Chain A
């Protein structure tokens, strides 16, 4: 029974819930708590899979009352599969984080060599330490996370943005760096790659990406107000991807519209939603453990053949 319930919960968490949560509007009002909820859903899904693998064989044996050698074999097989799942996740995480780090290190080295910040006078008064400027007409801004982070602006961006807008963009990027949003994104990427292909879904990745942007928007808004960031965002994105009608709009366009809409009005963040989402996140991890796993463990430890 435990295995069946854990399986049902796991499938719900990995197949049904992400679609619903990805389309919900409320996470925009509590982005940080929503990210925590996504993490909790993912982690709970993994724990369910492990629970099924470990509880399943033992419960089948209970049901059909097999002899001892079969029980031992089933237990060893279950432990092997569980170990395999954990190793696959860890290998994926190690791979993604290693590749990110080497690639960023090389990128940082090149950005530092190409930097032309001192030739651009239009930078705001409090320029962060890791700011770099790349020559080029295309207006863009990004950040390079890590222990020695960089905020990179193009010469084109400095041309089309005024100094308050530049300040807002820098504040947005620094929020990404300060709260290590890269680590959040890496963990979701690693999980995505570890899941077998037919079960994979991009929904958590894309949703978390948007929520991280919103969280950084909120940080920038708190420092410089919403207007400089909103106008900077619309200038930067109009310059590189022309407006398209909504019906053929890509994910990136939808994402941009949602962020612009959010910055256009008053701050809609809600304490109640934050508390609710955090409670859901905690509940997802704690309740199945208490209701299903602890009683099962109690029974299993007395019944297991080893």
Chain B
């Protein structure tokens, strides 16, 4: 299995868990589906932490991992970035993406707000 897919699945476990997980817990949740080495899961979590999408906290002599942002927050940030309305002004000139039909950023922000209010 490609490393990218594994990273995605690990993120899913962390998002679905709703609480910080240890490497062992993530490993248990994932290996129900396939034979995965414990160290592989550890490597993947470490990579995700280095990328800044997962936070690492030490509790009871074990590291616990949690997503840096909720799935919804990350999606919203990604959409704003794609539209070039990211707060980082220097990056704004760098055309990131081609949209099919230009989206009005205010419409996007309204939609994101609406999504947040939904339980």
Contacts and interface: CB of A to CB of B under 8 A. Distances in A.
B93 A142 contact: no
Interface of A: 96, 99-100, 103-104, 107, 109-115, 134-138, 140-145, 152, 169, 172-173, 176, 181-182, 185-186, 189, 193, 212-213, 216, 232-233, 236-237, 240-241, 252, 255-256
Contact of A134 (B79, B93, B102, B107): B79
Interface stretch (B4-12, B16-24, B35-43): B4-12
Contacts of B8: 112-115
A106 B51 CA distance: 9
Given A99-B90, A99-B91, A145-B97, 17 more contacts: A96-B94, A103-B81, A107-B97, A134-B78, A134-B79, A137-B111, A138-B108, A140-B79, A140-B99, A141-B99, A143-B98, A144-B96, A152-B97, A189-B93, A193-B93, A213-B98, A233-B100
A255 B101 CA distance: 9
A24 to B, nearest CB: 21
B93 A104 contact: no
Given A107-B81, A233-B101, A241-B107, A114 B96 contact: no
Contacts of B93: 96, 99, 189, 193
Contacts, number: 121
Among all A-B residue pairs, the 8 with the closest Cβ atoms: A237-B101, A100-B94, A252-B102, A241-B104, A99-B94, A142-B97, A138-B111, A141-B100
Given A135-B71, A138-B111, A237-B102, A109 B51 contact: yes
A152 B102 contact: no
30 contacts: A96-B94, A99-B90, A99-B93, A100-B94, A100-B95, A103-B81, A104-B96, A109-B51, A110-B74, A111-B78, A112-B8, A113-B74, A134-B79, A137-B111, A140-B99, A140-B101, A144-B82, A144-B96, A145-B98, A152-B97, A185-B95, A193-B93, A213-B98, A237-B102, A240-B104, A240-B107, A240-B108, A240-B111, A241-B102, A256-B101
Interface in B40-96: 51, 53, 71, 74-75, 77-79, 81-82, 90-91, 93-96
B117 to A, nearest CB: 12
A182 B102 CA distance: 16
Given A114-B74, A134-B75, A136-B115, A182 B95 contact: yes
B1 interface: no
B16 to A, nearest CB: 12
Contacts of B99: 140-142
A156 to B, nearest CB: 8
A173 B78 contact: no
Contacts of A189: 93-95
B79 A173 contact: no
Nearest to A143: B98
A100 B96 contact: yes
B95 A173 contact: no
A241 B91 CA distance: 25
Nearest to A241: B104
B75 A114 contact: yes
Contacts of A112: 4, 7-8
B100 A114 contact: no
A182 B98 CA distance: 8
B24 to A, nearest CB: 22
Contacts of B74: 110, 113-114
Contacts of A181: 98
B79 A107 contact: no
A103 B90 CA distance: 11
Contact of B53 (A113, A169, A173): A113
B104 A252 contact: yes
A169 B77 CA distance: 23
Contacts of A107: 78, 81-82, 96-97
B78 A114 contact: yes
A173 B100 contact: yes
